[in-house]
A and B are shown apart, each in its own frame.
Chain A
Amino acid sequence: MSPEINLEEQFQARIDAGQKIEPKDWMPEKYRKTHIRQISQHAHSEVVGMLPEGNWITRAPSLRRKVGLLAKVQDEAGHGLYLYSAAETLGISRDEMYEQLHTGKAKYSSIFNYPTLSWADIGAIGWLVDGAAIINQVMLTRTSFGPYARAMVRICKEESFHQRQGYEIMLGLAKGTPEQKEMAQDALNRFWWPSLMMFGPRDEDSPNTAQSVKWKIKRKTNDELRQQFVDITVPQAEFLGLSIPDPTLQWNEERGHYDFGEIDWNEFWQVVKGNGPCNKERLAARVDAWEEGAWVRDAAMAYAEWKEKEKIKKAV
């Protein structure tokens, strides 16, 4: 038996025993690469996710809502920071990760390629998108890679606050004037299917699942998570008095779950491939912020170096 195989067996045994893998521990190259990919894409999603909601900050309808939304979008920036830091422990720099995002090499969650067209979309995103994210992320609090699991614990607390805030916006609209209710229904209509898409392809089209289960990145399959989301969300929509845009949606007594319709997989893959309603704009906004910020980052670096030299001069 080669020493490499031995190491890999020991490694898997540690994961199986529920131990956390830390950055300095030995790990198979594939484990490292997979985690860099997944954590950085997660970080990019947090950061790109600031854009659709940021779109309504300047037009928020009340001071209370404005402050709530600003704080939420700021939290997402914070999530981006923790996750980039977690990925950096695996030996990739933040600049490299940005580079991958800007060149399209790294993906981010497709949900953020849909436009926010009314204030109600801010409610719908909090309720559905943060809601779907929580389901994924609660699972990830127990993943095998320590820094990722710990980042998730911090992030999940804030995400559930976001979800409640979004639901509360929806509740206000649903119980408001007919115009407000219509706005809420329209937002649900547009965000329902993209939210279901957040759980990824069907299990039979998701080749990575077995490996991910072994490393505890995944404890449930995409379809199981999607089902869980539907089961939680349908009663919430009923409580709002809004209808889910799926005529086939129905409680299945036998399964103890809701049956629901088929996702438009053509749309799903189109958005993944970059042809969604806002892919170009989202990426352009990130690239612009980065490029226009270059002189600022250079200045900060030059100033820090200058300060350092001054300090040494004084010491001498």
Chain B
Amino acid sequence: MDQNLYNYLLMLGDNSMILGHRLSELCGHGPSLETDIALTNISLDLFGQVRNIFQYAAKLNDQESSEDSIAFLRNERQHYNCILVEQPNTDFAHVILRQYLFDQFQLLQLNFLLQSKDEQLKAIAAKSIKETKYHIRFSSEWCKRLGQGTEISHNKITTALELLYPFCNEFFETTEVEKEMMERGIGPNLEELRVQYFDNVTTLLNEAGLSIPQTPFRVSGGKHGRHSEHLGYILAEFQYMQKTYPNMQW
């Protein structure tokens, strides 16, 4: 099996899966019906992407595997998502900002993947990018509303920014797997995306009346399977049925 491509797919899939899970926790609890529907929609899109990616990964895998065995049967250390996406839904400002910071990265990444040398990934990107463009419209508009809305909303999104922004560097810390993907023309050169990313983020934050926090970036490790303490609880819930009732069809 092409182990590096497989692991690369896990990285891509896990970002969408864990963020999709966080958003799914909010279903029925949004600040308005409209935002509830929109956030559920984003969650649905992300899980749709996860299914495409994991179905492809399952085909690559020599052992018997399926989208569900990949999604539900790995332990914490076998998840490779960035730590940003596992951060909790502290309040709507955290939800929106986490979404925007991810969407901006995902958009740049998918933009590259549209020309990936891997045909499957290219096809998945073509479908996903339309969704991601919609997601970032939603999240960036809301960043502006909260940043420029009231003093309360401005303070809340400032607090969220101070907590979440330091996680963003992790997107661009190139792992061995990603280096190989770049060399094979399958994945992007993350260093090149970095510049574009922080330019775009700075522009949006300015429009939202927010300034870039001076806090240093955090030491990370999500892409190596070293996560925050949140992930264990996410997985306990996410994997509950598969762990309690193994080997069954649902």
Q: What residues of chain A have their CB less than 8 Å away from a CB belonging to chain B?
A: 47, 50-51, 54, 57-67, 70-71, 73-74, 77-78, 80-81, 84, 119, 169, 172-173, 176-177, 179-180, 285, 288-290, 292-303, 306
Contacts and interface: CB of A to CB of B under 8 A. Distances in A.
B12 to A, nearest CB: 15
B150 to A, nearest CB: 5
A176 B30 CA distance: 36
Given A60-B241, A180-B248, A298 B28 contact: no
A61 B242 contact: yes
B149 A74 contact: no
Given A62-B68, A299-B153, A289 B237 contact: no
Contacts of A296: 31-32, 35, 92, 146, 153
A297 B35 CA distance: 10
A293 B31 contact: yes
B33 A80 contact: yes
A259 B133 CA distance: 56
A155 B71 CA distance: 33
A58 B51 contact: no
30 contacts: A47-B28, A50-B28, A54-B27, A57-B24, A58-B25, A58-B237, A58-B238, A60-B241, A61-B242, A63-B51, A64-B250, A66-B24, A70-B44, A70-B47, A73-B28, A74-B37, A74-B40, A77-B33, A84-B33, A176-B249, A177-B248, A289-B30, A293-B30, A293-B35, A296-B35, A296-B153, A299-B153, A300-B149, A302-B149, A306-B148
Interface string B212-233: 0000000000000000000000
A77 B31 contact: no
Contacts of A62: 68, 72, 242, 250
Contact of A285 (B28, B54, B149, B242): B28
B245 A61 contact: yes
Contact of B156 (A59, A63, A80, A295): A295
A51 B28 CA distance: 6
A203 B72 CA distance: 50
A175 to B, nearest CB: 9
Given A58-B24, A73-B27, A77-B36, A67 B48 contact: yes
Contacts of B145: 299-300, 303
Query: For A285, A288, A299, A300, which residue has the most chain B Cβ atoms within 10 angstroms?
Result: A299
A293 to B, nearest CB: 2
A59 B237 contact: yes
A146 to B, nearest CB: 22
A297 B36 CA distance: 13
Contact of A180 (B48, B92, B238, B245): B245
Interface of B: 21, 24-25, 27-37, 40-41, 43-44, 47-48, 50-51, 54, 67-68, 71-72, 91-92, 144-146, 148-150, 152-153, 156, 237-238, 240-242, 245, 248-250
B31 A289 contact: yes
A288 B51 CA distance: 33
B194 to A, nearest CB: 30
B206 to A, nearest CB: 16
Query: For B32, B92, B152, B250, which residue has the most chain A Cβ atoms within 10 angstroms?
Result: B250
Contacts of B146: 296, 299
A98 to B, nearest CB: 10
Contacts of A60: 241
B217 to A, nearest CB: 28
A179 B245 contact: yes
B250 A59 contact: no
Contacts of A78: 37
Contacts of A179: 245, 248
A70 B32 contact: no
Given A67-B47, A77-B40, A303 B68 contact: no
Contact of A63 (B32, B50, B153): B50
Closest 3 CB pairs of A and B: A293-B31, A299-B149, A299-B153
B19 to A, nearest CB: 13
Contact of B248 (A59, A64, A176): A176
Contacts of B47: 63, 66-67, 70
Contacts of B30: 289, 293
A299 B208 CA distance: 12
A91 B168 CA distance: 48
A71 B248 CA distance: 23
Contacts of B32: 293, 296-297
B250 A293 contact: no
A63 B241 CA distance: 12
Contacts of B50: 63
B27 A70 contact: yes
Contacts of B33: 47, 77, 80-81, 84
Contacts of B149: 298-303
Contact of A292 (B28, B31, B67, B144): B31
B223 to A, nearest CB: 22
Contacts of A294: 31
